[in-house]
Structure 1
Amino acid sequence: MEELGGTVLEPEWLGSGTPHRVRCPEGHLCDPTPGNIRYGTGLCRVCAGLDWDVFYVVTDDEAGELKFGITSGAARPRLKVHARVGLRTQQRLLTGLPDGVALALERFVRQALLRTGESPLRGREYFSSSVLQQVLTIVDSYPIEVPGATAAVSRDHGLEPGPLTEGSELISLERATI
């Protein structure tokens, strides 16, 4: 990371697949994984022009597997990649999220599962589908603040938007088969 001009802020090595706190050459705080940098993802998502504004939960009903994650812009290409390996049922899709919310939600869900003793089946966001209701409850109750409007995802009522400007697509909650 230092070869790219970044300053590693972690006191110790956390592993190639674990995000490390880094300050990029432009001064942005970022959390790249050494493995992703090695594969060319880059050091800083802000400098790379990436704006993670989508959070999703997909399941493979036959294999009993659940995956949650984030992406930037149109969700369809990312969801198609997951569908190719069996993760075809879209449980949640939140789009148009303000900067930082998708990443914070992804981390919150992962930490909540780990705190309750759940372990990933593989990677960091692949879990048994037995945690689906727990994940959906976490996602649906996670507070989402949108500049110029208020919106919260509620466990019981789906999306409850506050005042929105006309024509603004804020957040969509959908369940579908991809």
Structure 2
Amino acid sequence: MLFKRRKSVDLGERVRMLVWPRRSFWRSAQYFVKRALRLRATPHAIAAGIAAGVFASFTPFLGFHFLLAAAIAWIIGGNLVASAIGTAVGNPLTFPFIWGATLELGKLILYGRHPTGIGPRDIGHLLWHMEFSSLWQPFLKPMAVGSLPLGLVVGLAVYILTRWGTVTFREQRRKRLAEKARRRALEQSSAMAG
């Protein structure tokens, strides 16, 4: 195999790399940004796909983010690969903040003020025994309601940044390639003259 590892990676190392990247989080983020910018699609399609993935990451429906992002991207004319990349916003480091914000905003929207005493006493017990009917009213419903405005605002901001970044990246790349072609033509003409 062409790109095979020299040493095979055991299960513990694979799990560690999922939670904590080998190089750094910044390098991983740069990889996702460059991967999105190099997609062969219009700037709108890339930005709409990324925004759809970001919006889907704000919903409490864990496990359905890829499907939800793909459906939203398809509806708004976004790129499906970009929507999958956009779901990387939802990760173990950001989910506690996202879920806390969506829960609090959802409670505020549904109940007016911050109510006290909402929520089961033993969420671990409910999750272990899969009692989702008991989780819906105190947690999932407010999170779903709160995810809509937060996801829309963050998704719109990401759309604007991604579209601007894609247009800028492509313009710089076009200039760089034109300059490279101009230099190559000058070298060839000087070689033929000399």
For the pair shown, the structure with the greater C-alpha radius of gyration is 2
TM-score, normalised by the number of residues in structure 1? 0.30
TM-score, normalised by the number of residues in structure 2? 0.29
Greater strand content: 1
Greater helix content: 2
Q: Which has the higher contact order (CA 8 A, sep 6+)?
A: 2
